[in-house]
Amino acid sequence: MAPDDRRAALIAATLPLLREYGTAISTRQIAEAAGVAEGTIFGVFPDKASLLRAALMSAFDPQPAVDALAAIATKAGLRARLREAVTTLRTGMCANANLMTAPRELMAEDAEFRERMIDGRRRMLAGLAALIEPDRDRLRRSPEATAQLLLMLIVASVHRGFGQQGGEFGEMDDEEIVSDLLDGLLVRPSPTPSTESLS
């Protein structure tokens, strides 16, 4: 197997272990999952931390999400496009939810990783804004601002910290996230204007 292929195979074997057990996994576990001798790992990576960093960078690579957002048909209605986008992004974020603490351990001083995370968020926001753009005239905010609001709702529904502190955020499904963004939180039908002022 070529070195690049072996590297990719080791990263692929490490990711499920990281998601299940965190960074406490051993090189023996990784080797068994990859079906190789433990020494093979050190022929490709200088140490375990390097392999874990490479696996985390792979896990947080925004390209699959960006490609998926680009593939959502712009011919569908805004609500349908956003629902599909929410499903796509939540699936990826849920898969990586247990990894959110790992970068602090392994990436604290890694400027490249921080830059990749910032760039990944920027690219996801751009992908969401492109989905929203055809309906710009129907919205009170720009596609870019709408994309930011939507991403915040998605993160709040997935990230454990938000879920614990905010209670019901973790219970939102994809449809409700889109509805909260586009319709707000008022229960429909609204009270009669003459009996209640919303100002």
pLDDT digits (tens, 9 = 90+) for 28-62: 999 999 999 999 999 999 999 889 989 988 998 99
On whether both 100 and 174 belong to a single domain, the answer is: yes
CATH of the domain at 34: 1.10.10.60
On whether both 90 and 132 belong to a single domain, the answer is: yes
Is the residue at 197 inside a domain? no
Is the residue at 191 inside a domain? no
Residue of 198 and 2 predicted with greater confidence: 2
Residue of 45 and 199 predicted with greater confidence: 45
3-state helix/strand/coil string of the chain: CCHHHHHHHHHHHHHHHHHHHHHHCCHHHHHHHHCCCHHHHHHHCCCHHHHHHHHHHHHCCCHHHHHHHHHCCCCCCHHHHHHHHHHHHHHHHHHCHHHCCHHHHHCCCCHHHHHHHHHHHHHHHHHHHHHHHHHHHHCCCCHHHHHHHHHHHHHHHHCHHHHHHHCHHHHCCHHHHHHHHHHCCCCCCCCCCCCCCCC
Is the residue at 77 inside a domain? yes
On whether both 44 and 76 belong to a single domain, the answer is: no
Is the residue at 194 inside a domain? no
On whether both 91 and 168 belong to a single domain, the answer is: yes
On whether both 154 and 122 belong to a single domain, the answer is: yes
Give how many domains the chain has, as a whole number: 2
Is the residue at 192 inside a domain? no
Tell me which range, 64-78, 123-137, 185-199, is most confidently predicted by mean pLDDT.
123-137
On whether both 12 and 99 belong to a single domain, the answer is: no
On whether both 78 and 43 belong to a single domain, the answer is: no
pTM score: 0.79
CATH of the domain at 159: 1.10.357
Is the residue at 199 inside a domain? no
pLDDT score, position 195: 47
On whether both 22 and 89 belong to a single domain, the answer is: no
Distance CA 72, CA 83 (A): 10
On whether both 76 and 25 belong to a single domain, the answer is: no
Q: What is the pLDDT of the chain when averaged over all its residues? A: 85
Of all residues in the chain, the percent with pLDDT exceeding 90 is 52
pLDDT digits (tens, 9 = 90+) for 116-158: 888 989 999 999 999 999 999 999 999 999 999 999 999 888 8
On whether both 97 and 47 belong to a single domain, the answer is: no
Residue 173: give the domain boundaries.
63-183
Is the residue at 147 inside a domain? yes
Tokens 């939540």 identify what position?
A: 90
Is the residue at 195 inside a domain? no
On whether both 84 and 102 belong to a single domain, the answer is: yes
On whether both 81 and 178 belong to a single domain, the answer is: yes
